[in-house]
């Protein structure tokens, strides 16, 4: 039985760091284990220009603990007013790695997102020309569409038509949650990949709802049926390089999660790799962990894999705090529902 595993240092291809006191609190939890991360731009106000991205990157770097080795990969928030020239300049300068598409109203701080996709086609065409990837929150927001069906409908109504009209656009379907999403990636070999979160690999909607609502499992896109979780796990452990880790670690103050109308997001960063090692071990696929966490993402983004390594060692149950302080508030750490025996040694 494997008791120790050394892999290239992982990257996180979908991460929320927020700003201010929250940024100061949560950044060390990612920088401890991950070399790079795609940073989500849904601040208030959002990161929409080259200048916004540069300022946010500077705040992130200032918040890094002394001695930490971490590179934030910045993104721009796509709006119907996005300037293609500003975007192209930011990408050419190496400041911006990708652009994020939020359908308006889809998730936290997405009010500035896209309502009319026709209005962003010129920007998407420019992105295809310069090789700038598009990270997609893949849900429709029509109220008549059931929340559990919104990913499948988005693929049919929005994503597939966009990819047909903008050939060559590189797309990352972020945090896929359904068999539909996994199948769509596998059926489309060119210019398409997907990230998968920890919570969607470990839990389904019964875990969130049966016996009482567990708000710290509530995220968007929402947890789906068990059959969808099983399809995502099969994709993650398949060795297919189009699937890779994006934790979507999304901190909120504990009081905002434990509320009448609770915030969406799971704060998984402190225990992300321990959760993944346990999940891959249970599936008999520890040999596929390095590809999913450390190799597939850089390959799709055209970046080198990290040269340094981390070691995961199996031992006594991992001890970690239930919450971490964030200014005047706390942030509750994701509950894996079981003891975690895999420890990370940088």
Q: Which residues pair with 98 in a beta bridge?
A: 75
CA distance 314 to 29: 20
CA distance 27 to 17: 6
Tokens linked to 233: 């796990």
What are the angstrom distances between the C-alpha of 266 and each of 106, 156, 272?
A: 16, 27, 11
Helix (H, G, I), strand (E, B) or coil at 14: strand
Give the chain's length.
346
Tokens linked to 127: 């992105």
CB 208 within 8 A of CB 199: no
CA distance 156 to 166: 15
Q: Among residues 19, 52, 248, 335, which one is catalytic?
A: 248
Phi and psi at residue 76, to the nearest 5°: -105, 145
- The stretches of the chain forming alpha helices (DSSP H) are 20-31, 50-63, 84-92, 121-130, 150-154, 160-165, 179-187, 198-202, 205-209, 226-236, 254-257, 272-282, 289-290, 296-301
Helix (H, G, I), strand (E, B) or coil at 203: coil
- DSSP for 121-163? HHHHHHHHHHT--EEEE-----TTS-GGGHHHHHIIIIIHHHH
* 248 is known as an active-site residue: yes
- Give me the half-sphere count of Cα atoms (radius 13 Å) on the Cβ side of residue 111: 4
CA distance 166 to 126: 9
Tokens 């060692």 correspond to: 313
Residues known to be catalytic: 248
């Amino acid at each position: 039985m494997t008791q120790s595993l050394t892999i290239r240092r992982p990257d996180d291809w979908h991460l929320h760091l927020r700003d201010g006191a929250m940024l100061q609190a949560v950044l060390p939890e990612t920088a401890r284990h991950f070399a790079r991360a795609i940073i989500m731009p849904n601040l208030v106000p959002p990161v929409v220009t080259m200048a916004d991205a540069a300022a946010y990157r500077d705040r992130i770097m200032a918040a890094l603990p002394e001695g930490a080795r971490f590179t934030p990969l910045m993104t721009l928030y796509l709006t119907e007013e996005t300037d293609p020239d500003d975007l192209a300049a930011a990408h050419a300068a190496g400041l911006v790695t990708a652009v994020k598409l939020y359908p308006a109203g889809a998730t936290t701080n997405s009010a500035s997102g896209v309502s009319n996709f026709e209005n962003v086609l010129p920007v998407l065409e420019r992105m295809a020309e310069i090789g700038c990837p598009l990270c997609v929150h893949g849900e429709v927001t029509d109220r008549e569409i059931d929340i559990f069906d919104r990913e499948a409908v988005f693929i049919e109504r929005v994503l597939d038509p966009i990819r047909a009209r903008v050939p060559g656009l590189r797309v990352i379907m972020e945090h896929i949650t359904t068999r539909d999403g996994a199948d769509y990636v596998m059926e489309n070999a060119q210019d398409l990949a997907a990230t998968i979160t920890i919570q969607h690999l470990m839990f389904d909607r019964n875990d969130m709802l049966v016996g009482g609502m567990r708000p710290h499992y509530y995220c968007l896109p929402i947890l789906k049926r068990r059959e969808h979780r099983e399809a995502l796990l099969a994709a993650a452990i398949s060795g297919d390089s189009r699937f890779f880790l994006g934790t979507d670690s999304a901190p909120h103050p504990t009081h905002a999660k434990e509320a009448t109308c609770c915030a969406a997001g799971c704060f998984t960063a402190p225990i992300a790799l321990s959760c993944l090692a346990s999940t891959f071990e249970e599936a008999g696929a520890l040999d596929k962990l390095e590809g999913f966490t450390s190799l597939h993402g850089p390959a799709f983004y055209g970046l080198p894999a990290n040269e340094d390594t981390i070691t995961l060692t199996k031992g006594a149950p991992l001890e970690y705090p239930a919450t971490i302080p964030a200014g005047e508030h706390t942030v509750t750490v994701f509950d894996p529902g079981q003891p975690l025996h895999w420890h990370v040694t940088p």
